[in-house]
Structure 1
């Protein structure tokens, strides 16, 4: 894949999110989830067996299985989560059905386990029609300076981008009421959560409700637990048909040819190798420096220059980064092409 082609694809995704909810469902999936040539198309696998809570861990007495459904019993006065312990997926589509009856619940993804059935991270709200479409950060410390930016990340009809420094840009691309009408209280609804690279998308009954592209260097997470929330105080909600489709960290393992690019090394995003994370090398590639794409994670590409410098890159037009935020390290400065 050529980086320039990747740039056009990413830019198109950013521009198109939620302008036309039904059309987006086709365009977005087609642009980021189809496998590269020669790869096997990922398939959905069930993460709930319909019989018991094998692979799930919840506070005793708060969750139970009834007729092939996971029910929050409404007996707890305090928040707690039912955690899927088998994996901590990174790039995936989570598909499920839910029925909200009372209180407040949510679906957690890419989240951190704090112990005692407490989970910290991205959450999709499951509540009344008025509250549906909300992305927020669960259990964010009220004293944290970024609380206002992240506690309520996106509501119905919004496309939200969080910059590397945490600054938030909000686009209300579809009227909230127009989006919310597709969700029905006290009935079974379908939900899909798409997590790919920096972007999280929420779909309900086939309609994109909201999206978040999170490039915050301090707070974003690229993998973690899936969990269901019991908000306490009489919450009654049910889930069924929970299925997961995972994507590889790379879209293609075949090296691409060296091509001229207009990419900028962020030098600040995380470069992931297996379960370990390490900073990408600081350094700003000159315009026209030839690089080879060795890993494509969606909004960023891992590349290596002809001089051997490796870094994560983003397109300057998509995510411009100033020299002051990304100083050039003399030892890593690539040679002229």
Structure 2
């Protein structure tokens, strides 16, 4: 018992302002809130984020290689005139089915492009293209090159638009989603999106789903539908039916809770 207590006291130093923790040879003071403190921007990622794309290969991902490849550190989804689709297809992360998490990444998309980041999603049969083994159903952080929908919350093969850019919406399942608050005006929020690389930050915690782009909240959905929402599921990136297009993803990081 004495040895156990000695170990405990070697890790904790009781100070007048709180408990200090020892990491290696450095003692980190406990945080004590002050009236003068205010939330401040953070540089880089918070602790706990891990890369789920190595930037070199599609190791850990599964999709139709007709449409997906890796070049210069980016995951590329591309449709050409020769490879047009009749139904949407995805590349799926194989590392788990996150429930509560944060996902951060960067994307770039051509003007004619249509894509999305699916989460809490599942692979489903594709009635239009039965050979498509990578069709998904679930929540989606919507992306498109013309930025009509970028940042919205769209449930692929499910309840469709759950939240649109600029809104805080509640989903109950017995009627269309209702807007309960505003983040901003759609046209003004669209100005945040660049024609080059953009940064996505997606937070799924319980039934609250927050879509952020380039540091701006775009859409919040509170999903109170007891029958509709999945509690966990796979992450996948989409290439969409339509004209030739290209979408690129890089620096994909995940933090789970």
Q: How many residues align?
A: 200
Return the match for 1:110 from 120, 127, 130: 120
1:60 aligned to 2:88? Answer: no
Q: What's 2:149 paired with? A: 131
CA distance in 2, matches of 1:227, 1:162: 23
Query: Does 1:162 find its partner at 2:171?
Result: yes
Among 211, 223, 230, the residue aligned to 1:202: 211
Residue 80, structure 1, aligned to residue 85, structure 2: no
Q: Spell out, residue by residue over 1:193-234, the C-alpha distance to the aligned partner (whole angstroms, 9 max, x if none).
A: 100000110000000000111111111111100000000332
Deviation at 1:70, TM superposition (A): 0.4
Whether 1:43 aligns to 2:48 is yes
Q: Which runs of 5 or more structure 2 residues have no equivalent in the other structure?
A: 1-38, 126-132
Distance in 1 (alpha carbons) for counterparts of 2:47 and 2:181: 32
For residues 130-187 of structure 1, the C-alpha deviation after alignment (integer angstroms, 9 at most, x for no partner) is 22121111023xxxxxxxxx311111110011126455221351111121110112x0
Alpha carbons 1:97, 1:239 under 8 Å: kept: yes
Cα distance in 2, alignment partners of residues 66 and 60 from structure 1: 13
Moved beyond 3 Å, runs of 4+: 164-167
Secondary structure (helix, strand or coil) at the match of 2:79 reads coil
The 1:160–1:188 alpha-carbon spacing in structure 2 relative to 1, beyond 3 Å, is same
CA-CA distance at 1:243 after TM superposition: 0.1
CA contact (8 A) 1:166 1:217 kept: no
Change (3 A) 1:226 1:50: same
Structural RMSD (CA): 1.9
2:234 to 213, 216, 225: 225
| 1:172-321 equivalences in 2 (<5 Å) | 172-173=181-182, 174-185=184-195, 187-233=196-242, 234-247=244-257
Matched, 1:69 2:87: no
Structure (1 or 2) with the larger CA radius of gyration: 2
Note if 1:121 corresponds to 2:130: no
**Equivalent-residue separation in structure 2 for 1:153 and 1:181 (angstroms):** 22
2: distance between equivalents of 1:103 and 1:74? 9
SS at match of 1:59: coil
Matched with 1:144 is none
Please say if residues 173 and 228 of structure 2, whose CA atoms lie closer than 8 Å, have aligned partners that are also in contact.
no
Matches of 2:90 and 2:96, distance apart in 1: 16
CA offset at residue 77 of structure 1? 1.9
Q: CA deviation at 1:47?
A: 0.4
Give the Cα–Cα distance (whole angstroms) in 2 for the partners of residues 207 and 98 of structure 1: 15
Which of 1 and 2 has higher RCO (CA within 8 Å, sep 6+)? 2
Partner of 1:35: none
Deviation at 1:190, TM superposition (A): 0.1
Which moves more between the two structures, 83-92 or 229-238? 229-238
1:70-129: per-residue Cα shift (whole Å, max 9, x none)? 011213322210000110000000000000113200000100112500010101111122
